[in-house]
Structure 1
Amino acid sequence: MQISFEKIYAIFFFREKNREGVICPVCSSFERHRFFWFLMKEKTDLLNSQKQKKMLHIAPEKCFTEIFSNLSHIDYLSADLNSPEAMEKIDITDINYPDESFDVIYSSHVLEHVPDDKKALTEFYRVLKPGGWMLLSIPINENLEVTDADLELDDPQERIRRFGNVDHMRVYGIDFEDKLEISGFNFEKYYPADFVSQKLIKKCNLPSQPVYICKK
């Protein structure tokens, strides 16, 4: 399935209420989704139709669900604890699949909502096949050495002030990478500028935060 998001992004402005230049009016992608697309094309074998893969997509985004589910070489499963849009209801701290079930896991901005994020990472590692990989992003402040978290905080405005969203339980610092290592993952961290031109970064309004490719 050949889709040129680059051409779409070069034509349209991206808008979200109170944040101009974010959501694509054609595919509803956020800036991080557009970065994921470049990353998947350039740094993974996800789109290689010669390799069959079983994929777990956590908290499925509309802009990717149709693409992934229509790739003939991917056995696709979307999952979420609450969303009716997902194919299965799954708690990522207790994934009801055997060890080494998936070749690929995709999780974008999910862990900050999960009380026991360490257990979620352990479960991701458990159900990933040896040689498999996970595409992972979280809201991270790389100026923070230590993650700012408070599971008991119940003041919505204070949650927004500290964590950026009323549903977030933490904002990650650079110690997040310690959690990846403790869970068993080897990982590579990518920024758009690592492989996307500045011209395209500007056109597509790509984010400044990194994305992790975590390998087992």
Structure 2
Amino acid sequence: MKPRTLKFWSGSVKEHSKSAITLNSKGVLCPICSSRFSNFMNFGKPKRLNARCKNCGSLERHRLLHLFFQNELGSFTDNASNYKILHFAPEKFFYNYFSSIKGINYKPCDLTPNKYKWKGPVNVSKVDITNIPFESGYFDFILCNHVLEHVLDDALAMKELHRVLNKKGFAIIQVPIHPTLENTYEDRRITKPSERKIAFGQKDHVRWYGKDFKWRLEHVGFQVDVIDYSSQFTPEEKYKYGLLDSESIYLCKKSS
């Protein structure tokens, strides 16, 4: 993908264009690694059909974000001098992209950075999301994708993300949301991995987020735009790229 000048979010979604990627009449296409298959691998519990790329390992949420970055936000170039990006639990394909761009001040991080065995030009730093070691307003862009469901004090984590984001920047904060829950379900008395798996769907999750996730972000000061981006694609394109109707994008700015 040829880099383009960074464009800040304008608040409206453009009509989807297929100019960047040409569709085949058959099979699937990963927009991240450009691999083509008859279908994506099934993945998850319960199994989701057409979910995981056989080459780069991307899931539906990763491919949706990649398409959103490409079509709506533009890309990062040498003109974006010292543009500061904070990336929690860095996915390898997004890490490869961000870390390869000259002029970007890229900070990939995780509470347990040693689990990232792959090598790259930027080290993954140890950072506690509830105590981020950067000054207020430091970052221009924050990517936090499926992290908060692992964090006991998610309100404090959200406050920290809000604090370190600058007033002109934006953050994309994603979590798994239960399709039938109005309010987030959590119970700190549930501590055993086996019990958490039953209660929250995964042994290392500490809650199921409900439809109140937007309110929880707004409660710490974010202005939140919930973008149903998959609706910009036809049913054929959704299958082609392996996208979910249920995955929205939570794009956050500072409201104050």
TM-score in terms of structure 2 length:
0.77
- Report how many residues are paired: 215
Q: Which moved more, 1:110-119 or 1:146-155?
A: 146-155
Greater per-residue helix proportion: 1
User: 2:250 matched to 1:212?
Assistant: yes
Measure, in 1, the Cα distance between the counterparts of 2:103 and 2:71.
18
Runs in 1 of length 4+ with deviation above 6 angstroms?
none
Aligned residue identity for 1:132: G
C-alpha displacement of 1:107: 0.6
- Counterpart CA distance in 2 for 1:187 and 1:42 is 20
Alignment of 1:144-183 (within 5 A): 144-183=181-220
Structure 1, gaps ≥5 residues long: none
Are 2:161 and 1:124 equivalent residues in the alignment? Answer: yes
Gaps of at least 5 residues in structure 2 are 3-19, 22-29, 117-122
Range that drifts further, 75-84 or 164-173 = 75-84
Question: CA–CA distance in 1 between the matches of 2:42 and 2:125?
Answer: 29
Higher mean C-alpha displacement, 133-142 vs 13-22: 13-22
Equivalent positions of 1:34-183 (< 5 A) are 34-45=63-74, 47-49=75-77, 50-52=79-81, 53-84=83-114, 85=116, 87-183=124-220
What secondary structure does 2:136 align onto? coil
Q: Displacement of 1:180 after TM fit?
A: 0.9
Confirm or deny that 1:21 pairs with 2:26: no
Q: CA deviation at 1:16?
A: 4.9
- Structure 2 residue 71 is the aligned partner of structure 1 residue 33: no
Larger Rg: 2
Q: Which amino acid aligns with 2:65?
A: F
Equivalent position of 2:37 in the other structure: 11
Deviation at 1:17, TM superposition (A): 5.5
Aligned-partner Cα distance in 2 for 1:13–1:74: 35
Q: Is the 8 A contact 1:101 1:129 kept in 2?
A: yes
